[in-house]
Amino acid sequence: MTTIQCFFLGTPKVTKDDHALKLTKAKGIALLVYLATERTTQTREQVMTLLWPDSLPQAARKNLRNTLWDIGKTFDEDVVEVDGDSLRLAESVWVDIHPFEDTSPAADLSPVSRLEEAVALYRAPLADGLSLLDAPDFELWLTTQQQRLDRHYLRLLDALITAHRTAANWQKVITYAQQALIYDNLQEPMHQALMEAHARLGERAQAVRQYDNLRAILAQELGVAPLTETESLRAAILNGHIQASPMSITATAPRQVKKAVPASSPFVGRQAERAVMDEALQLAAGGQARIVLL
């Protein structure tokens, strides 16, 4: 039995028994993406109106027949099942959209491993790069679906960050928070997660830089300042109330310190600079010397 896979989260690509196939016509790709995303039987009329809105009925029917023939020729089998006036994607076809959107962000429904598998499927927005300028209704439908799946992706990332935060897997928190900010850099909770994660890893200077990045983004894009919650988090990091976990310190400084670092003297009003120096001292204690310019 052959295995047909459609990867539509990102630039569309299809495979048969792990061999890449090439769909040359945009309307054929659009039809497959539409049927795969809708996951229900569609009528010929619906498809023709969506993909060939300016064509006369007879011409639209011919275009649809030719498109179905081209798809069948590419796969060398009927991946689109036709029953009278109805069309649907064959159930044997695997589509990345389905396991992705079937994964719930609820912690009691999806273990971390499944959340990570779902997030890995999301290479880019749905059918990235596909455009049908002569089919505005399809363009609108595609944009709506892209936004819906984008939101689901961000919810899954948020669930992963929460899970790894609880487990103190701070490097994972950084990885997934950064992924979320690629899609929406105005998500202040993601910046907060990065600030805390860097602080927990003993990277206070990086945590402060993350705050500075957020402040600049908010000022430029929205003309607002960070939330009070974010300001409180920054203050807690600078004042040492959020410190590196023992596991993080062990990981960054595995060698025994031969000479204790002298107790610091008062350094009033320069908390950000102090954070940079403290981080450099901690790295130096672990054998990673660096020059600090203040």
Shared domain check, 178 and 159: no
Domain containing residue 61: CATH number: 1.10.10.10
| Residues 56 and 200 both lie in one domain | no
The mean per-residue pLDDT over the stretch 42-59 comes to: 97
Q: Is the dihedral of CA 264, 266, 271, 273 positive or negative?
A: negative
- Cβ atoms of 135 and 53 closer than 8 Å: yes
Tens digits of residue pLDDT in 276-285: 556 555 554 4
Alpha carbon separation from 154 to 74, 141, 143, 211 (Å, rounded): 34, 20, 17, 21
Does residue 111 surpass a pLDDT of 50?
yes
Residue pLDDT, tens place only, 98-107: 999 999 999 8
- Is residue 245 classed exposed, middle or buried when 0-12, 13-18 and 19+ CB atoms within 10 A define those classes? middle
Q: Are both 90 and 101 inside the same structural domain?
A: yes
**pLDDT band at residue 7, thresholds of 50, 70 and 90?**
very high
pTM of the model: 0.81
Q: 127 with 7: CB under 8 angstroms?
A: no
Are 147 and 7 part of one and the same domain? yes
**Are residues 197 and 152 part of one domain?**
no
Q: Please check whether residues 211 and 264 belong to one and the same domain.
A: yes
pLDDT of residue 294: 52
Last residue in a domain, options 120, 152, 167: 167
| Region 17-41 average pLDDT | 96
Based on the fold, state whether residues 163 and 181 are members of the same structural domain. Answer: no
Question: Within this chain, do residues 248 and 132 fall inside the same structural domain, yes or no?
Answer: no
Inform me whether the pLDDT recorded for 254 exceeds 50. Answer: no
Q: How far apart are CA 157 and CA 200, in angstroms?
A: 20
Spatial separation of the C-alpha atoms in residues 90 and 264, rounded to whole Å:
69
Say how many domains are in the chain.
2
Structural domain boundaries enclosing 50: 1-167
Residues 128, 8: Cα–Cα separation, whole Å: 8
207 in the same domain as 119: no
Domain boundary among 111, 146, 167: 167
